[in-house]
Amino acid sequence: MSERRHEIAFTVNGRRVEAVVPARMTLADLLRDRLRLTGTHVACGQGLCGSCNVLLGGRSARSCLTLAVQADGQEVTTIEGLGGDDGPSEVQAAFVRHRALQCGFCTPGFVVLAEELLAEVDAGLRPAPEQVRDRLAASVCRCTGYAPIVAAVQELVDERVARGTR
Ligand code: FES
Ligand code: FES
């Protein structure tokens, strides 16, 4: 028996997308294989490493565990939607400044986590340094070590907090 297919429509990086997808297709496969948004990386495919993080309705989500049908009606942001022709995003620039990447495979997942956290800081969250580290512990990096990643995000958190309290 063939797998059921569903019509879905959602926004990805500001662009409306319509697709017919198998019930069990993951959001990662839809983004990478159909929409060619290959900046979303898949490593473990089991929800463990965070390489596949995207923003789904403003919250980070493991796209390897998220079904494509769950994106229906939602707003999805991938690494391709952060930064662009005008240059890197604030988070991406901080990662470069702090040399917070080596091979870069994990970087899109960490950038998504940072964007989620900074949006919460803009909304009034004041995370302690241990909380910043805890949030970033949701992703795994196999080569750069975590100190520069934490330093890059902490710098941005401190800047946003200072801006918000001026
Ligand atoms: S590929 Fe999704 S969490 Fe590892
Ligand atoms: S920079 Fe290589 S896995 Fe993180």
Task: Report the distance separating Cα 116 and Cα 103, nearest Å.
Answer: 23
- In this structure, are residues 31 and 40 in contact, taking their beta carbons and an 8 Å threshold? yes
Mean pLDDT of 89-93: 97
* Mean pLDDT computed over every residue of the chain: 96
The two structure tokens encoding residue 158: 């401190």
- In this structure, are residues 12 and 37 in contact, taking their beta carbons and an 8 Å threshold? yes
Provide the pLDDT for residue 166. 59
- Ligand 1 mean position to 154 CA, how many Å? 24
Provide the pLDDT for residue 1. 66
- Ligand 1 mean position to 113 CA, how many Å? 13
Provide the pLDDT for residue 159. 97
Ligand 1 pocket by C-beta < 6 Å: which residues? 42-45, 47-52, 62, 64
Mean pLDDT of 6-19: 98
3-state DSSP assignment of residue 99: coil
Distance of CA 161 to the CA centre of its chain: 22
Task: Report the distance separating Cα 76 and Cα 32, nearest Å.
Answer: 13
Mutation probe of ligand 1 site: the residue of 30, 46, 54, 79 with most atoms within 8 A of C-beta: 46
Per-residue pLDDT band for 164 (boundaries 50, 70, 90) equals confident
pLDDT in tens, 22-38: 999 999 999 999 999 99
- Ligand 2 mean position to 108 CA, how many Å? 10
pLDDT in tens, 95-153: 999 999 999 999 999 999 999 999 999 999 999 999 999 999 999 999 988 999 999 99
